[in-house]
Chains A and B, each alone.
Chain A
Amino acid sequence: MKLKILLSVFLSTIVAVSGLSQDTKTRCLSVDAGIDFISGGPPEKDYIRADRGQFFSDFPTTSLRGLFYRNYVSIKGEKTVLNNKVGLVSGIRYTRTESSIGKESYWSNSSDFFYLLLRQEETRTDYLKVNEITQLAGYLAIPLEIRIYPYRPRAFNVYYKIGGDVNYRLHSRARTVFFNRDMKVFEDEIENIIEKPWVFYSSFHLGVGFRIGMVDKPGVNVEIHIPVTMIRGGKQDFVTPEAGTGIQLNARIPF
C-alpha cells in the first residue's frame, strides 16, 4: 500500500515537472518549508476528568487547550500558463504534525496537571496525573496550488494563491509528560487510550505571496496562508483542529 502511494506521488511529481519542460520561460523548481498553526477546541474526552464546572451545558468542562501545528518541506515544480498570469504547482512533501493536550502554548510546557483515566477493573479505578500528552505523526503528501499573478513581473511581486495537500500517514508516536516521573511505565498504555492520528487528512488554504527576484533568475517567495483548514479522515480526533494560519518560505530555480 505504502509502495503504491510512493509510486503515485513520484509519478505525479514527474508529470508536474515534465509539464514544465514545454516552455523554457515558464518553469521553475522550488524547495519550500512552512509551518501552520491551527487552533483546536477544548478537549472534552471520556478519559480526562473535568477540572471546572459548567455554567451552561455548552460551556467547556476543562481549562485544557488542544493545540495543533504542522511543519513541512517540499520539492515542487511550477508551470505558468495564460500569459504567465496563472501558476500551477505540484510536487512531493513530507509533513510532520504535532497535536498536544495540556500545553499552555505551542512552545511552553505546563506545570499544572490533569487526571487521566488509565483503567477501570471491577471496583478499582486508576487515574494518572499528567502534565501533557503530545502526539507526533509523519505524513507523505502531494501539494497542489494555483497561483494568480495579476501584476506585471518586477523584482518584487505580490501574488495570490489557493492551495492544499493530501496527506498519508507514514509513522506516529505519542509522548506523555507525567506529574510523577515514576509513572513513565504507563506511557505505552496511554498511547492505546488516546485517539489514533488520522491515516489521511487534507489541508486547504488561501494565501498571499511575495515573489522576490526576477522571474527568470533564482529567487525566493514568502507566503502567508490564512485561513488554513483541514479535512480529517477519521471519526475521532485527539485534537480537533478548527482554523489557523501559516507561513511558507520558498527557494526557486527557474530553468
Chain B
Amino acid sequence: MKRAVYSLIAAAAIILANGCSKEYELNKSIFIPDPDFPELPAYTEWGYNTFGAYYERGLFLYSENAIPAKIIRAGGITSFVLKGQKDGYGYHSWDNRKEMSVTFLLPSVMPDSYADLTILDKKIIDLVNTPGAVKLFLDGDTIKPDILQGELEFRRVQLLYVDSKQTEVILSGVFSFQALIKDEPVSVTQGRFDVGIGEDNFFSY
C-alpha cells in the first residue's frame, strides 16, 4: 500500500515538474529597464509579462505577486485587465492597500480562445469615443472615470509556438489617457505592456 502511495506521489511530482518547467519560464516576469524611464519596463515584444505607466508622478507597475494581465470575456463584453500596484516599493513587493488595476474594454472583440486575440494586432482603441472604455481599481474603490483623451494601441500581437506547439498569445503595446477621477483631472502616461495570454489567464464565461 505504502509503495503504491509513494509511486503515486513520485508520478505526480514528475508530471508537475514537467508540466511547470515551460510554464514557469514563460510565465515569470522579466524586467528590462526603459533607457529613458528606468523605473518603467522597456517596451518589448518578447512576452516578458511586464507593464508599467506613470499615474501622475507615481508608478503603476506590475508585481511578481499577481498575474499581470488577463483577458476576460463575460456577458458579451471583452476586457483587458492590467493588475499591479500604485506607488509600490517595486515589483518584488506587494501591499494590498496599493493594489491598482486598469481594465480596458475591447469593443467588438469576441474571442473564443486566446488564439483569437490575434485580431488585436495593430489595433488602436480610442478611449474617448468608446463608452466605458476604462475602469480603475484604485485606493480600494472601483472607479469609472470620464476619459478626456487617450488611446490603447496593440502594436504587435503574436501567436506564439514553442517547439512547434501553440503556447500563448503575446500582447505588446502602449497606452495613455487623461481622465476625471472624483472630479480631479489625472493623467496616466508612458504606459506600456508586454504580456502573455494563455489558458491560465484567458477567461470566458
Show the binding face of A for B, using Cβ within 8 Å: 49-54, 56-57, 61, 115, 120, 123-129, 178-180, 182-183
Q: Which 3 A-B pairs have the closest CB atoms?
A: A53-B31, A125-B158, A123-B118
Query: Is B48 engaged at the interface, CB distance under 8 Å to the other chain?
Result: yes
Beta-carbon contact of A127 and B33 below 8 Å: no
Residues of B near A180 (CB, < 8 A) are: 163
Residues of B near A125 (CB, < 8 A) are: 158-161, 170
Which residues of B, 90-149, contact A by the 8 Å Cβ criterion?
118, 121
Beta-carbon contact of A126 and B161 below 8 Å: yes
- On whether A61 and B118 interact (CB within 8 A), knowing A123-B157, A123-B158, the answer reads no
Count chain B residues whose beta carbon lies closer than 8 angstroms to a beta carbon of A: 22
- On whether A183 and B38 interact (CB within 8 A), knowing A53-B32, A61-B30, A124-B158, the answer reads no
B1-44 interface mask toward A, CB cutoff 8 Å, 1 = contact, 0 = none? 00000000000000000000010010001111101001000000
Give the residue of A54, A123, A129 whose beta carbon is less than 8 angstroms from that of B162. Answer: A129
B116 to chain A, nearest CB (A): 11
Residues of B near A123 (CB, < 8 A) are: 118, 121, 157-159
A178 to B162, CA, bound (A): 12
B148-173 interface mask toward A, CB cutoff 8 Å, 1 = contact, 0 = none? 00000000011111111000001000
B42 to chain A, nearest CB (A): 9
A182 to B22, CA, bound (A): 17
Beta-carbon contact of B158 and A54 below 8 Å: no
Show the binding face of B for A, using Cβ within 8 Å: 22, 25, 29-33, 35, 38, 46, 48, 118, 121, 157-164, 170
Residues of A near B161 (CB, < 8 A) are: 124-127
- On whether A120 and B35 interact (CB within 8 A), knowing A61-B30, A180-B163, the answer reads no
Residues of A near B30 (CB, < 8 A) are: 50-53, 61
A75 to chain B, nearest CB (A): 47
Q: Which of B157, B159, B163, B170 has the most CB of A within 10 A?
A: B163
Residues of B near A56 (CB, < 8 A) are: 33, 38
A124 to B118, CA, bound (A): 9
A114 to chain B, nearest CB (A): 9
Residues of A near B162 (CB, < 8 A) are: 115, 126-129
Give the residue of B25, B31, B46, B118 whose beta carbon is less than 8 angstroms from that of A54. Answer: B31
Closest to B156 in A: A123
Residues of B near A126 (CB, < 8 A) are: 160-162, 164
Residues of A near B163 (CB, < 8 A) are: 127-129, 178-180, 182-183
Q: Write 5 A-B pairs (CB below 8 A) sorted by A numbering.
A: A53-B29, A120-B158, A123-B121, A124-B159, A127-B161
B191 to chain A, nearest CB (A): 19
Q: Besides A123-B158, A126-B160, A182-B163, 6 other CB < 8 A contacts?
A: A53-B30, A56-B33, A61-B32, A123-B121, A123-B159, A125-B159
